[in-house]
Amino acid sequence: MELHWLTVKEAGELLSRGELGWRELFLGLRERIDRVDPRVRAYISLAGDDAISPPGGKGSLSGIPLAVKDNICTKGLETTCASKILKGFRPPYDATVIERLKTAGCVLLGKTNLDEFAMGSSTENSGLFTTHNPWDLGRVPGGSSGGSAAAVAAGECLAALGSDTGGSIRQPAAFCGVVGLKPTYGRVSRYGLVAFASSLDQIGPICRTVEDAALIMEVISGYDPKDSTSAPYPPLNAHELLSKEVKGMVVGLPREYYGEGLDPQVREAVMEGVRVLEGLGCRVEEVSLPHTPYAVATYYLVATAEASSNLARYDGVRYGLRAVGYEDLYEMYVKTRSQGFGEEVKRRIMLGTYALSAGYYDAYYLKAQRVRTLIRGDFERVFETCEALVTPTSPTPAFRIGERVQDPLTMYLSDIYTISANLAGIPAISIPCGFTQEGLPVGLQIMGRAFDEATILSLGHAYQGVTDWHKKTPPL
């Protein structure tokens, strides 16, 4: 039995029956990391020897080894956001999701790589190193949660946490052939998630199966008084998330997601996925989300403005990097931020600062917020007649490392199908639905109404019940 290809559900059953020991599972995954991570480079850091101690909790995930994106605070374990400016930072507290995972008995394997401060679509913007796609080591794993998706796909953990601001869970999940869920905004506490864009960020699971995503959501969801944006709802129930009847569901295909720029092989794989859903009894209708063409521009005004504000705290005064050789406080700020931030982070801070500046606020940021309202209205109207929407997750499969580094606009368009869900605050999931002729995974995205994770998870679970794309593993 290859322990590293177990699902969370399978491992949990073996552990509960005493047929597998948590230490055996943990060490098996550490051995797998030692063997393949020098090529994949999914991890920034690994948990120390103290991780090889009995699980702290006795909950539903007791003994399950997970990885965590390195922008989620872990007490005493370095949290860098893949940025030089936070090198050596060890938080004095755990994020709420980490507390809940520990209470459930999870064991932390380590922290995974990402685009610096979650700003990117390929993990090439990491201030430390680039992660490689396990299906083709010459290609990107997606971003910004590329390390988490690559770790799951490569069998270096059973599941991982990522964060999604404009597609950062779903797009890498699609590129790496795994499942990635962005919950409804407010469904999962953001306390302890290092902020990029506070009105868009959301933590979610990356796993091999939709069932595993439901099991993790059962643990990490629910109201948290430490997060002022946390929705006042109790934790989700995994069984209820997967048991909704899909026969008779009305599924919409937004025409704006199937037009120019969509790779023909991606389109064919997604449409085959739609035919599978029809075979399960879903009724498919073409719909329109007319303000979709404005989503990327809207996102890159709202997100950069919030990033400009959130990243002002990294100044070299209290923690993280402090430059040397300065004569006054102003020079220390300039040198620290110049040396500590990478080029993409600087670009977004400058864009956001400009959009918020006097004389431009109304023309850019305020107008973007108004368009965001229109985008949200599009979804509300469509969901009056549809229970879910099905689209490609990304317009292309994984691209080659270095291919888009000098072309930020093309890179930004990698998230054209995922951004709208963040702007509207709705849940969305990417599930594997096929491969290109080059053997690269393709992801199918399902979006649902706010706080209706049950519909999209039930659809995804039913789809995986009659397909086996999620069972494929890369030839590492």
Write the DSSP string, 130-152. Answer: ---BTTBTTB---SSSHHHHHHH
Q: Strand 203-207 vs strand 159-163: parallel, antiparallel, or unpaired? A: antiparallel
Is residue 144 annotated as part of the catalytic site, yes or no?
yes
Please identify which residue in the block is written with the tokens 């209708």.
285
Task: Select from 121, 183, 177 the least CA-distant residue to 431.
Answer: 177
Q: Helix, strand, coil shares of the chain as percentages rounded to 5?
A: 40, 15, 45
Task: Select from 301, 420, 300, 291 the least CA-distant residue to 364.
Answer: 301
Q: Which of 122, 126, 144, 420 is catalytic?
A: 144
Is residue 69 annotated as part of the catalytic site, yes or no?
yes
Q: Which residues have CB under 8 Å from 170's CB, separation 6+?
A: 164, 180, 181, 182, 393, 418, 428, 429, 430, 443, 445
Sign of torsion, CA 320 326 332 337? negative
Geometric angle at alpha carbon 265, from 263 and 268, rounded to 5°: 110
d(CA 158, CA 12): 11
Q: Which residues have CB under 8 Å from 326's CB, separation 6+?
A: 332, 335
At 81, the amino acid letter reads C
**Residue 426, φ and ψ in degrees, nearest 5:** -95, 160
* Cβ-count burial 215-251 (b if 16+ within 10 Å, e if not): bbbbbbbbebeebeebbeeeebebeebbebebeebeb
Burial class (CB in 10 A: 0-12, 13-18, 19+), 59: middle
**Residue 234, φ and ψ in degrees, nearest 5:** -70, 170
Tokens of 150: 């690559």
Q: Which of 168, 420, 430, 458 is catalytic?
A: 168
Could you check whether the bond before residue 243 is cis, i.e. omega within 30 degrees of 0? no
Q: Which of 69, 102, 111, 182 is catalytic?
A: 69
Q: Which residues have CB under 8 Å from 161's CB, separation 6+?
A: 66, 67, 68, 69, 72, 97, 101, 148, 203, 204, 205, 206, 216, 220
Give the residue numbers marked as catalytic.
69, 144, 168
